[in-house]
Amino acid sequence: MAETRAPAVSEVHPQKEPTRDAGAAGTAVSEIKITGSKQVRPMWVIDDFDIGRPLGRGKFGSVFIARSKEEKIVVALKVLFKEQIFKHNVAHQVKREIEIQYHLRHPNILQLKGYFHDQQRVYIILEFAEGGELYERMKKKVRLDEAEAAKYVRQLADALSYCHVRRVIHRDIKPENILLDRKGNAKIADFGWAVVSADSRRETLCGTLDYLPPEMISGKTHDHTVDNWAIGILLHEMLVGRPPFEFPEKEENDASDPCLQIYSSKVCK
């Protein structure tokens, strides 16, 4: 498969590692303990965790491997910088991501275990997936065998069916957003573009170019079936080594991009 990929409609870039600020005491908005039961103490602060190596970096912050000092549970700690969140006017999106993922409980969905914040950052406590990204496995193997690809598709389809029954649309299914646990089971992650749809149709153009469905690119409304389209694209990429529709890598992409117009003329008509 190709070494580079078309970026998401909202791309990510490196940020600094978090530091502990004197006087920036954590204010909890979390409701559960790391183990999944009701938490005993009323709040967490960053000093409740031993912070390890970075797992990934993004426009709004970074993800680190961490361990809770009290429970000794290894987690992924997503650290978002409030300055960047407000600068890019995505506070509503972060809030929605937390609210949606927090309430989802499925073996093939990465569990959001809790969250808290201080004066400068928002911290999201996530299940740690030891196997890393599906994308890295695909890049290493180039093509997956049918049995392995079928396993992932079955698990993702089951997880998305669970979401869709609850009116949750993920809207950004791609290899980078699928993590693997220590046993090689798929876990859907990154609900940053997810939405709970009270209406049957949505209009927002979002996601990653290679995985955008025809109705989204042609400016039509969309529903939960955009996730089904993405599974099909993912299956093709797993078996063939690249997605069926590829776009050149760019810094920014929008609905007026010539690539989108070409895609629309090839697929949507």
69 is in an annotated binding site: no
Count the Cβ atoms, other than its own, within 10 Å of residue 96.
17
Amino acid present at 205: L
Residue recorded with tokens 């876990």: 187
Buried b (16+ CB within 10 A) or exposed e, 163-194: bbeeebbbbbbbbbbbbbbeeeebbbbbbbbb
Which tokens is 197 given? 């749809």
Is 227 marked as a binding-site residue?
no
Please indicate whether residue 172 is annotated as part of the active site.
yes
Catalytic residue among 21, 47, 118, 172: 172
What does the alpha-carbon distance between residue 229 and residue 240 come to, in Å, rounded to a whole number?
Answer: 17
Is there a binding annotation on residue 128?
A: yes
78 is in an annotated binding site: yes
Q: Which residues are catalytic, by number?
A: 172
Query: Residues annotated in the binding site, as ranges?
Result: 59, 78, 127-129, 176-177, 190
Binding site for ATP: residue ranges?
59, 78, 127-129, 176-177, 190
